[in-house]
Structure 1
Amino acid sequence: MKSLRSLTKLAAVLSAILLLVTLVIPASPAHADELTGRTLEKELREMISKDILSGYTDGTYRPTENVSRGQFAAFIARALKLPEANGSFNDVPNTSKLAKDIYRVQKAGLMNGYSGGIFKPDAPITREQVSITMTNVLNYSGMVLQETRINFTDLNEFQSSGSVRSAYYNIRYGIISGIPNKDGSMRFEPKSNTTREQAAAFISRYLKAAAAYEPPDLPEIPDTPEQPTPPEDPIKPEPPAPQPPTVQSDYYLAALENGKLKKQATGYSDYLKAAELFNSSSKYTAMYRGDELIRVRRGMAFGDKLSKAKVKENTIIYFDPEFKKQATYVQHGRELKYLGSTDKFVKVQVGATEGYAKHSEVDLIPIELVTDRDHYTVSQWGTLTHHTYNYVDKKSASYYVQLAPDFLKNNGTYHSPDGVHFYETNGKFVGTFLPYFQFLSARSKTSYTGAELDALIMNVLKEREQKYAGRYTDASKKSKLIGLGSSFKKLEDDYHVNALMILSLAVHEGDYGMSETAQTCNNLFGLYKYDSLTKLCPDKGTFKSPGDSAVALVKDFLNPNYMDPTNALGRAQGAAFGNKTTGFNVNYASDPTWGAKAGAHMYELDKAAGGKDYGRYKQFALTNLEIPTNIRTAPSTNASILFTYKARYNGVYKDTSSGLALGYPLTVISSVKGDDGMTWYEVFSDKAGTGTGYIREDVVTIINN
């Protein structure tokens, strides 16, 4: 047996060892000492405590290590608590630890992938890329973008002016700052990789800025002066009128009874109280403010704006719920996809554009009470027909689009808010396609000669005489289109606008040269003819000859306003007919299907002439719009820039895993490998007189026709 003295000595030794272990092993998490003393220690520990930044399996946090795109996406997704989402990047398998966060961020429109369906999750993210992403986060959070400018010494290292502005936005909110030079000036280092501790700091500062955010009092945005007046409707609305004040006890819930909406007897003075009850019970179908229907559980919306004199007017769609920035405008009575509403606004989709409308300019109808609506059918011969409906006039119409794509089945019925993305009646997404002539570049040239176009016009007029007696009596003698084929071909040469496209617009706007405006005013295109004008032939809308109206179309409207990508008024959204998200249709016409109808006329004319133009070009391209996009004179980043597409909203399908993001449309002529080893596409240049240009594969989505 050991002596008491020996046991005492052993206990002393064990106590010393225990003390040593206590001194060596920290009480905080493993490797937390790597954070101690760092300049960004506070932000790092804050992000770790909030489970935004997590450590590695060995217990380290590695603050100075470069953060990858996938990791930064995860930080953002956790910080914003983004909803779950699915995706299909080729390099992000569902088994990846970061997959769910990457797809959440992509779905929210905060970070996008690259061409080829990849995300590059392991690639380091630069300070410039982080700045752009954080600008998207500010937008997502509804924070007004305002600049605080610093004259960085390395401004020339930014990829674009849009990237510079992103830096200024972040500086304004204290999210990202510059790096001091020895002489006291500042640099940004846009191409430097972002470290994990810097990423933690950026997100920490954003969260503080968001918590303290109060919307600034912004000045009223003035209307831009007209120059010249657009063909159909003024592009700018009158200044937004304030919403009428809500009266007490004005909100009523309603339920369906015997095929009609019946308001409940009890009203509520507080919208939020009424909304809480509406959300809590599925028995309520709609909500009223007085006698105005302001919310439905599921349903449709349509334009229903009236002037003080009860004249039908266009409904304005805005990008923001405060109605400060106009997105587009829509004809009275036409369908809008209903996305939800509050007491302040109605959220809708027109084309692929998601925006906001005033309650005073739209009406709602529950889906249970919808008796007719816009839809598509496919005939037994495979022809795609678009059926349109006016909810106010209760009138239907239809037109042939072209041959239907294979994924649309004969005798099927489909819905499409933009004429590109198609859904079955049960809401199941079935596919996308771009109607050929609707998205063909207006800078392309028709295969037909002037003489062939003249013969086509005469044949089409004679056919209409035979098929539609009365309306087109003596059309082959009276039409204002007769003999203009050669003139249209000359305009194609002089102004670089497709002659068959000009003819299609004359057919569409001037009813084959037989409309009253065409016959009386020599105005084939409805130029300067507003819906509100009562005078048949306004001074500007009266021409000495029909050919003069064609010259005015291309010289005064299309080229300077709707095709020139450098147009300061922002009307040029791509040189194709397009729809309400891209192309002429965004700003040229209130009819949301104007571009589709014009393209359909071009299809029918080409078919009647022998079908030489349809499918002539095998690929279209849609630009990616997260940053400005350059079109160059040659397939090289060293080549001169022809023009730059401005970054802009490109629709609800910005997440390309769910559809086509509708950027600026281009027609591909050929492809070639550039000096950088990447594929460059030769495309028709939107800028008149510049022929063709080149765009690189990583900034476009290619669609095979």
Structure 2
Amino acid sequence: MKRFRSTAKLAAILSAALLLITLVVPATQASADELTGRTLEKELREMISKDILTGYTDGTYRPEENVSRAQFAAFVARALKLPEANGSFNDVPKNSKLAKDIYRVQSAGLMNGYSGGIFKPDAPITREQVSITMTNVLNYSEMVLQETRIDFTDLNEFQSSGSVRSAYYSIRYGIIKGIPNKDGSMRFEPKTNATREQAAAFISRFLKAVEAYEPPSLPEIPDTPEQPTPPEDPVKPDPPKPQPPAMDQDYYVATIENGQLKKQSKGYTKYLQAVDVFNSSSKYTAMYRGDELIRVSRGMAFGDKKSPAGAVENTIIYYDPEFKKQATYVQQGRELKYLGSNDKYVKVQVGATEGYAKHSEVDLIPIELVINRDHYTVSQWGTLTHVTYNYMTKKSASYYVQLAPDFLKNNGTYHSPDGVHFYETNGNFAGTFLPYFQFLSARSKTSYTGKELDALILNVLKEREQKYGGTYTDASKKSKLLGLGSNFKKLEDDYQVNALMILSLAVHEGDYGMSKTAQTCNNLFGLYKYDSLTKLCPDKGTFKNPGDSAVALVKDFLNPNYMDPTNALGRAQGAAFGNKTTGFNVNYASDPTWGAKAGAHMYNLDKAAGGKDYGLYKQFALTKLEIPTNVRTAPSTSAPVLYTYTARNNGVYKDTSNGLPLGYPLTVIRSVKGDDGNTWYEVFSDKATAKTGYISADVVTIINN
């Protein structure tokens, strides 16, 4: 649930709404016979006076006539005073009276066109479609989406559950109402065309809802650190280094003035004194300890750890506020979800994991001053794009994830701290999905032969050579990937690691075999290339040929350290690329989106090769990790245990009603009945000594792909 709103945008929306409510624009008077006595007469006249609903050339308004898509787009554009925009729908002539309004709502993401580049401007708009558009309008206005549920007698006539929710959102704000049946029940009539007078009423009610809207407040984080008992760790961490006694520093509260934080002149020697002042008024948006920003009312956090010499270092995230048990780490400048802070720690979310960071290793930004941030968009072709932002370098980058799930709409903007749980820009929960190749078991086998992988490598290199040049000049002749498809396929057979996954890692880590490390050191995967090393080719990271680096990847890194659940160091968090809560990415890379990017490369490679692997397995399973979980050799509790997943932190979504608890990811091959009559799943074994194993249905959450 979103707990804040953009101050500037809120002011703009309210200004537009107040202007529409107070400004009386002269308009042609409607025929008394046409409007007088109608149930919606008040709303009609109001919208006519505001020049939102305009009449026809003969001076009539035709309130009972169906409203077209173009007309409703115009009503919305005028009500919100949307900025000018350009477009080019094939069925919207440039000289059309409503063309500019159509393109304004399209640019704002409020109404979209259809395949083939058409808008269908003259088509009538249904009540269901109106409610979907009004949900987009509420999002645009940054109003929290909350439902008022009614058991409509015609729920089965809605196109989807998303359409039903849109109706509930509009009902919550009084925009759309149900229609009473004779027995006192209610119906919605989703497929009934909306009339012009109904459209006027919808817009009128929305503007009143905007005027009355007050965003919910942010709950307070405790002002004293929590003291949970950290779970036992088989590997004892080094004891914390003794710190010098803390000196009293003054605490200051701050406001935002002219787009900048301004500390108040009065300081407080005690943190709780400053807290009392900070909580006394909503005008205080931040708190300083000396010159260090330690708390914001709402905002973002990002990694910013530096060594005494000024070198860039990773920010460590701990499970406990005493910084004893490490959860994971992230590279400098990368976004963390801010959950709150006090004078001892900053509480953040990375991936789906809640944790604690030291003030010295993160920076905070009040939400009012956030200009750029990580986000997701959906292209007109249905492809999900992830745009990442580095708060230190001030640079953005993007990559295609895969096809977007149905609940993410074209031209919509979404946020996700873990790439699995998605939220609309107003903070409302949108839905969950697991990007296929990001969570596919590395123990699965690709459908492609070695020869097909070799052909794929050559074709991809030729494409990059032709499209991009530069680094990829003569890539089809120079790349260290050439001819390795058959090698990767052999590694798949010998070490039980998917050959297309190995290729994806080489593409991601070795820049298609064209990176300096790949070209000079025959190191396709950056093995043994630690941040602290200045030498291009360290001894262990130099190979006689690039194929040897692939052998080292699966033999020395993936199999023993990041895939085998019996690993004594506890690095194996699941045999998939994953994210910062589950999979290789927890401990393999500091880039929080490393797993998503590697999975995206696998998606693109598979697509280029013919799409044989995408969606091959129809179900994933995520273990429930409150207790140790056994994988057995057969579907029976009496069968020998193949290996055991140890209990560990599940992250923020422990309750399945609140999202997906990201335990260890498994790929389901088939479901079977055990000798006890219960359902078991045959899954790929994380342990290389067995190809498959069996896990009981009651200890996993199943996700259908």
Q: TM-score, length-normalised on structure 1?
A: 0.67
1:703 Cα deviation from its structure 2 partner: 0.2
1:471 Cα deviation from its structure 2 partner: 1.6
Q: How far apart are the structure 2 equivalents of 1:355 and 1:222?
A: 17
Change (3 A) 1:397 1:241: farther
Q: How far apart are the structure 1 equivalents of 2:529 and 2:288?
A: 37
In structure 1, the residue matched to 2:607 is: 607
Q: How far apart are the structure 1 equivalents of 2:511 and 2:564?
A: 27
Identity score, percent: 85
Q: Is the 8 A contact 2:230 2:319 kept in 1?
A: no
Q: How far apart are the structure 2 equivalents of 1:249 and 1:355?
A: 26
Alignment deviations for residues 446-497 of structure 1 (CA, whole Å, 9 cap, x no partner): 0000000000000000000000011200000000000000000000000000
Q: Is the 8 A contact 2:377 2:412 kept in 1?
A: yes
1:665 Cα deviation from its structure 2 partner: 0.2
Task: Kindly report which structure 2 residues correspond to 1:84-483, keeping only aligned pairs within 5 A, or say none.
Answer: 142-144=227-229, 221-223=236-238, 240-241=240-241, 245-483=245-483
In structure 1, the residue matched to 2:653 is: 653
Q: Is the 8 A contact 1:247 1:269 kept in 2?
A: no
Q: How far apart are the structure 1 equivalents of 2:703 and 2:505?
A: 25
Alignment deviations for residues 259-281 of structure 1 (CA, whole Å, 9 cap, x no partner): 10000001011011111221222
Residue 502 in structure 1 maps to residue 502 in structure 2: yes
Give the secondary-structure state (helix, strand or coil) at the position aligned to 1:411: coil
Alignment deviations for residues 669-693 of structure 1 (CA, whole Å, 9 cap, x no partner): 0001111111100000000020111
Give the secondary-structure state (helix, strand or coil) at the position aligned to 1:512: coil
1:141 Cα deviation from its structure 2 partner: 7.5
Q: How far apart are the structure 1 equivalents of 2:242 and 2:701?
A: 41
1:344 Cα deviation from its structure 2 partner: 0.8
**Structure 1 spans left out of the alignment, 5+ residues:** 1-85, 87-139, 148-161, 166-219, 224-238
Amino acid at match of 1:553: L
Q: How far apart are the structure 1 equivalents of 2:667 and 2:248?
A: 57
Amino acid at match of 2:462: K
Q: How far apart are the structure 1 equivalents of 2:399 and 2:638?
A: 47
Change (3 A) 1:353 1:242: farther
Alignment deviations for residues 151-172 of structure 1 (CA, whole Å, 9 cap, x no partner): xxxxxxxxxxx9xx9xxxxxxx
1:250 Cα deviation from its structure 2 partner: 1.5
Structure whose alpha-carbon radius of gyration is higher: 1
Q: How far apart are the structure 1 equivalents of 2:563 and 2:602?
A: 19
In structure 2, the residue matched to 1:697 is: 697
Alignment deviations for residues 646-702 of structure 1 (CA, whole Å, 9 cap, x no partner): 011111000110100000000000001111111100000000020111111100000
Amino acid at match of 1:400: Y
Q: Is the 8 A contact 2:227 2:321 kept in 1?
A: no
Q: How far apart are the structure 2 equivalents of 1:286 and 1:323?
A: 24
Amino acid at match of 1:523: N
1:320 Cα deviation from its structure 2 partner: 0.4
In structure 2, the residue matched to 1:545 is: 545
Amino acid at match of 1:425: T
Change (3 A) 1:701 1:331: same
Q: Is the 8 A contact 1:651 1:662 kept in 2?
A: yes
Q: How far apart are the structure 2 equivalents of 1:673 and 1:381?
A: 41
In structure 1, the residue matched to 2:82 is: none
Q: Is the 8 A contact 1:577 1:598 kept in 2?
A: yes
Change (3 A) 1:276 1:598: same
Alignment deviations for residues 103-129 of structure 1 (CA, whole Å, 9 cap, x no partner): xxxxxxxxxxxxxxxxxxxxxxxxxxx
Q: Is the 8 A contact 1:249 1:267 kept in 2?
A: no
Change (3 A) 1:587 1:509: same
Q: How far apart are the structure 2 equivalents of 1:471 and 1:247?
A: 53
**Structure 2 spans left out of the alignment, 5+ residues:** 1-146, 148-224
Amino acid at match of 1:346: V
Change (3 A) 1:145 1:581: closer
In structure 2, the residue matched to 1:157 is: none
Q: How far apart are the structure 2 equivalents of 1:524 and 1:499?
A: 14
1:531 Cα deviation from its structure 2 partner: 1.5
Q: Is the 8 A contact 1:573 1:586 kept in 2?
A: yes
Runs of at least 4 residues off by over 6 Å: none
Amino acid at match of 1:448: Y
Amino acid at match of 1:435: P
Q: How far apart are the structure 2 equivalents of 1:532 and 1:362?
A: 21
In structure 2, the residue matched to 1:630 is: 630
Q: How far apart are the structure 2 equivalents of 1:626 and 1:314?
A: 29
Q: How far apart are the structure 2 equivalents of 1:668 and 1:537?
A: 40
1:222 Cα deviation from its structure 2 partner: 3.8
Q: How far apart are the structure 1 equivalents of 2:236 and 2:303?
A: 24
Change (3 A) 1:434 1:221: same
Give the secondary-structure state (helix, strand or coil) at the position aligned to 1:627: coil
Amino acid at match of 1:545: N
In structure 2, the residue matched to 1:666 is: 666
Q: Is the 8 A contact 2:226 2:321 kept in 1?
A: no
1:145 Cα deviation from its structure 2 partner: 6.5
1:248 Cα deviation from its structure 2 partner: 3.4
Alignment deviations for residues 406-463 of structure 1 (CA, whole Å, 9 cap, x no partner): 0000000000000000000000001000000000000000000000000000000000
Give the secondary-structure state (helix, strand or coil) at the position aligned to 2:477: helix
Q: How far apart are the structure 2 equivalents of 1:569 and 1:654?
A: 24
Alignment deviations for residues 2-35 of structure 1 (CA, whole Å, 9 cap, x no partner): xxxxxxxxxxxxxxxxxxxxxxxxxxxxxxxxxx
1:247 Cα deviation from its structure 2 partner: 3.7
In structure 2, the residue matched to 1:174 is: none
Q: Is the 8 A contact 1:561 1:571 kept in 2?
A: yes
Q: How far apart are the structure 2 equivalents of 1:144 and 1:372?
A: 37
Give the secondary-structure state (helix, strand or coil) at the position aligned to 1:508: helix
In structure 2, the residue matched to 1:524 is: 524
Alignment deviations for residues 199-240 of structure 1 (CA, whole Å, 9 cap, x no partner): xxxxxxxxxxxxxxxxxxxxx9544xxxxxxxxxxxxxxx64
Q: How far apart are the structure 2 equivalents of 1:349 and 1:509?
A: 26
1:533 Cα deviation from its structure 2 partner: 1.3
Amino acid at match of 1:373: R
Alignment deviations for residues 309-345 of structure 1 (CA, whole Å, 9 cap, x no partner): 1000000000000000000000111000000111111
Change (3 A) 1:664 1:222: closer
Q: How far apart are the structure 2 equivalents of 1:288 and 1:274?
A: 9
Q: How far apart are the structure 1 equivalents of 2:652 and 2:248?
A: 37
Q: Is the 8 A contact 1:432 1:659 kept in 2?
A: yes
Task: Kindly report which structure 2 residues correspond to 1:563-602, keeping only aligned pairs within 5 A, or say none.
Answer: 563-602=563-602
